[in-house]
Structure 1
Amino acid sequence: MPSTLFALSTLLGLAAAAIESCPANAPISCQTSGTISNTCCTEVQGQVLQTQFWDSNPATGPAKSWTIHGLWPDNCDGTYEATCDSSRAYTDIGCILLDKGHGDILSYMETYWKDYQGDDESFWEHEWSKHGTCYSTLNPDCYSNYEKEDELVDFLNTTITLFKDLPTYEWLADAGITPSSSKTYTNAQISSALQKQFGATPILSCSSGELNQVEYVFNVRGSVAKGQFIAVNPTGTKGNCPKSGIKYLPKDLSTTPKANEGSCS
């Protein structure tokens, strides 16, 4: 079985140098009791869920890849806080990335972090505002020489870095589970294939019997920006897919929405 420890050692175009370093023995999230003394090095909402979509119609992203939904903090029990700081509900995220010299991150997001209606920018803004602003380890106070929106860049970068390490399509295909218009799969087949590669059981979600979302659950040692992500079983919701008859439909790329074009002033 592969290691269940995911270290953010190969950040995509980002050194995350501005955020304060955490000690190597920082407490692991969801394994502390009482008040957390250093909320910059241990997440207050301790579990982190890297969540992926499979949109077949309308289709999003490449034919042989899942796409990013988001990176969600969780209170270690399935509950979560949301929209935690309206003063940091940043907009024009694509422009922010370009202004900060992170066109590589933006390019990746434009391919793999897609909105099913074509409004990628609004989708990114929603995910940041609802979930990203709630990470205690990404609070501006956790940074030295902080510049506005540094924590946004770290949030986006961590999300896509984890996504790159969680190739759901490949993991399922390795187990003989591929999109089909006629074949169906059992919950156990899908869960087992992903658990074998990930090291823990992910959450599977379905819509009308169609597999459309996977959530990979982590505890974190250190900051979400550059900590160690430890694969764990979910402690809250367990998903809603049936035991059998799960459809995993091919993407109909003819239904892919045209992305709304933005502009930076």
Structure 2
Amino acid sequence: MAISQMLTIAAIATGAVAQLKTCSNNGTFSCQSSSKSPTCCFNYPGGALLQTQFWDTDPATGPDDSWTIHGLWPDNCDGTYQSSCDSSRQYTNITEILKSQDRSDLVTYMDKYWVSNSGSSESFWEHEWGKHGTCINTIKPSCYSDYSPQEEVGDFFQKVVDLFKTLDTYKALESAGITPDESKTYELSDIQSALAKIHGNATPYLGCDSDSLSEVWYFFNVAGNAIDGQYKATDTLSKTSCPSSGIKYLPKSSSN
């Protein structure tokens, strides 16, 4: 499928306002330019940004009627990626940082929708920031016009949540008659079609664990910086791990 139509993500005003430097190249999308130089207004090499989600059933995490947040990952426009790019900013106090920025409501939301199935939420957030957030070049401290320590951390987590709120995977599947069930199975193409409707007609990546639906990754190209730039939905750069048919979508309650 060709690159899809533009999908602009509206900012949700919560917490501090980003003081990132103004970008004048909002018409230049990442992964779609001959430029190979990272700037505060051009995401490179991690030009594609992925809003990733989990469907955990064993053990179950989050509400029974919602997928949960995995993260926001920069991808090198080809399915490869950098990781853990700045050890000096691999913080171990994400909750404290967010609360110090008057983002307590954000923490409350994350406690419900951004949870780990194998450890504390705090350690999960630390991992996602350290491994992926530090590799987004357009939110480096040098990209702020009036930088406050750890300001980019709050902006990162707020942006992930804002994107997640625009991509309600559970409702999109439910609208297509695809609901969690112990015995029903579904076609890959039907699941992809249902999710493309909330993603600018672009096909997301679907992940399966033993033929059971477990992950979705929504790919974007971005013009400007990763926080207040313009997001455009694009097709997956990764091959699905799900079969073409016989996909299970187990209810979370099945693990209780």
Indicate the TM-score class for this superposition, using the shorter chain for normalisation.
over 0.9
Uncovered stretches (5+) of structure 2, i.e. residues with no partner: none
Quote the Cα distance in structure 2 between the aligned partners of 1:225 and 1:113. Answer: 19
- 4+ aligned runs moved over 3 Å, structure 1: 11-14
In the other structure, the counterpart of 1:43 is 43
Q: Which secondary structure does the structure 1 equivalent of 2:198 belong to?
A: helix
Q: Describe how 1:231-246 pairs up with structure 2 within 5 A.
A: 231-235=233-237, 237-246=238-247
Asked whether 1:61 is paired with 2:75, we answer no
Contact 1:8 1:158 in 2 (8 A): no
Segment drifting more, 177-186 vs 190-199: 190-199
Uncovered stretches (5+) of structure 1, i.e. residues with no partner: 256-265
Quote the Cα distance in structure 2 between the aligned partners of 1:111 and 1:94. Answer: 14
Contact 2:5 2:232 in 1 (8 A): no
1:202 to 192, 201, 204: 204
Contact 2:49 2:73 in 1 (8 A): yes
Q: Which secondary structure does the structure 2 equivalent of 1:204 belong to?
A: strand
Deviation at 1:205, TM superposition (A): 0.3
Contact 1:68 1:113 in 2 (8 A): yes
Q: Describe how 1:198-237 pairs up with structure 2 within 5 A.
A: 198=199, 199-235=201-237, 237=238
The Cα RMSD (Å) is 1.6
In the other structure, the counterpart of 1:132 is 133
Q: Describe how 1:111-260 pairs up with structure 2 within 5 A.
A: 111-198=112-199, 199-235=201-237, 237-252=238-253, 255=256
Quote the Cα distance in structure 2 between the aligned partners of 1:3 and 1:32. Answer: 17
Task: Give the alignment's TM-score, normalised by structure 2.
Answer: 0.94
Contact 2:16 2:102 in 1 (8 A): no
Deviation at 1:3, TM superposition (A): 6.6
Quote the Cα distance in structure 2 between the aligned partners of 1:108 and 1:205. Answer: 25
Segment drifting more, 5-14 vs 213-222: 5-14
Quote the Cα distance in structure 2 between the aligned partners of 1:30 and 1:222. Answer: 12
Query: What letter matches 2:29 in structure 1?
Result: I
Quote the Cα distance in structure 1 between the aligned partners of 2:36 and 2:127. Answer: 30
In the other structure, the counterpart of 2:85 is 84
In the other structure, the counterpart of 1:7 is 9
Quote the Cα distance in structure 2 between the aligned partners of 1:158 and 1:192. Answer: 25
| Percentage identity across paired residues of the two chains | 51
Quote the Cα distance in structure 2 between the aligned partners of 1:89 and 1:30. Answer: 27
Number of matched pairs:
251
Indicate how the Cα distance of structure 1 residues 93 and 25 shifts in structure 2: closer, same or farther if over 3 A, else same: closer
Quote the Cα distance in structure 1 between the aligned partners of 2:219 and 2:255. Answer: 33
